[in-house]
Structure 1
Amino acid sequence: MKVPGFLLAGLAALSMAGCATRGPATDSPVLSDPEALAAAQAGQATRAAWLASRPDWSFAGRVAVNANGKGGSGRIDWQQAGADYLVALSAPVTRQSWRLSGDLQTGAGRLDGLEGGPREGRDADVLLREATGWDIPVASMAYWARGLADPATGTDGMDYDATGRLRTLAQHGWRVDYLDWFPAEGAQPPMPRRMEARREGATVKVAVDQWQLAPQ
């Protein structure tokens, strides 16, 4: 497997601001009061419905990936138009870039920026794993990045913090920790600012600088 050169561990020193300076929010108190928990769950359902009504969205920020001791960091720009996505990752130091595009409905994907030219596959997760060695659930990440559970798979658990915001989410072997949030703006609900997705041998950290949510 040939990991794109600009994502190798040598780039791990690239500034990630808050993205790599703090571990999972295990010290944050879990909301346990039944009434407060029910209110938090209702608020999350309302938030999920609001976001579902806006299928076109994007965010820009930074990402750090580690898979079995190999990884790196760089800028990330995720653009979503319904089921179609385009994820661009770039390293300002080397001016190299890598792009993953695909369709969440079919699961197919295309990876550009690799040595030897682009690759395509029926399963974006498998394509990414075979080309880079990373194990990242791309379709689920489209939901996790927005602070939502992936409706296509079962949920093993969801915890909320004292403010009623989602604190942790567990799905198909992954634990997602939400470390920081942008506050609500008008009708727009709070959006994740920093999150970490972890499973054995794999970590994905995302720090969002800006969200763009298209009007309904």
Structure 2
Amino acid sequence: MQRQHPLILLLFLSLFGLSACTTTPPPAPTTQWDAQKAALSNIKDFTVKGKVAFISPEQRVSANFIWQQEGDTLSLRLTNFLGATLLKLDATPERAVLVDNDGKRYVGGNADLLLRSLTGVALPVEDMMYWIKGLPAADNDYQLGADNRLATLSENALDSNQPGWQLDYTGYDANTDSLLPSKIKMTQNDQKVNLVISQWTYE
């Protein structure tokens, strides 16, 4: 039987919170959505660094994260403020390997189910590979902002009556010419995940 590793057990390792910006960024340049989608789709290999907060009625956990992606292969590492690894997930469409903060290794055929069974967080990992770039996955409903960038996204079609993640893109990174997101807020029922991205590296 798999041992439960709720994120609340890692809370004492992560003593910092996500800080809000006190300055107002300049308005993002307007683009065309077709050109935006094409540019994002062409970014296959990238590394993202930043902070993430997991929030629910039972817990609130913050961590640093490094997200490395090569095509459909993902490596995600969460660390505390001292740099100690809290969780490492390596995933392909066929296989997922998760290593917890005790160094225990778990293997499964589905990254979503493996992550949920060990942490309690039900993130759609495959779709997140698109969402983190500001790109909808298949069957997502979405709305564009005034600058023709992704503003909101719904995991499931709005007329499906199926609960799913709702995403708000509240900032884009000026260092990428506002191509890629810098702040993403995710909610599903009473569960929230906030991403603050500090660095994009991509080809």
Where on the TM-score scale, by shorter chain, does this alignment land: which range?
0.7 to 0.9
* Residue equivalent to 2:17: 15
Match of 2:100 among 109, 113, 123: 113
Match of 1:181 among 157, 172, 182: 172
Within 2, Cα distance between the matches of 1:88 and 1:51?
Answer: 23
Q: Which amino acid aligns with 1:112?
A: V
Identity %: 26
Match of 1:72 among 61, 65, 89: 61
Paired residue secondary structure (1:49): helix
Paired residue secondary structure (1:205): strand
In 2, are the aligned partners of 1:135 and 1:202 still within 8 Å (CA)?
A: no
CA RMSD of aligned residues (A): 2.5
Paired residue secondary structure (2:121): coil
Task: Map 1:183-202 to 2 at 5 A.
Answer: 183=174, 185=176, 190-202=179-191
* Residue equivalent to 1:58: 47
Within 2, Cα distance between the matches of 1:70 and 1:121?
Answer: 26
Paired residue secondary structure (2:88): strand
* Residue equivalent to 1:147: 134
List structure 1 segments (4+ residues) > 6 angstroms apart after TM superposition.
none
Match of 1:85 among 53, 62, 74: 74
Within 2, Cα distance between the matches of 1:6 and 1:96?
Answer: 13
Residue 93 of structure 1 deviates from its aligned partner by 4.0
Q: Which amino acid aligns with 2:114?
A: L
Within 1, Cα distance between the matches of 2:179 and 2:17?
Answer: 25
TM-score by length of 2: 0.81
* Residue equivalent to 1:208: 197
In 2, are the aligned partners of 1:90 and 1:96 still within 8 Å (CA)?
A: yes
TM-score by length of 1: 0.76
In structure 1, runs of 5+ residues without a counterpart are 22-38
Aligned residues, how many?
186
In 2, are the aligned partners of 1:12 and 1:64 still within 8 Å (CA)?
A: no
In 1, are the aligned partners of 2:13 and 2:81 still within 8 Å (CA)?
A: no
Paired residue secondary structure (1:17): coil
* Residue equivalent to 1:36: none
Match of 2:119 among 110, 117, 132: 132
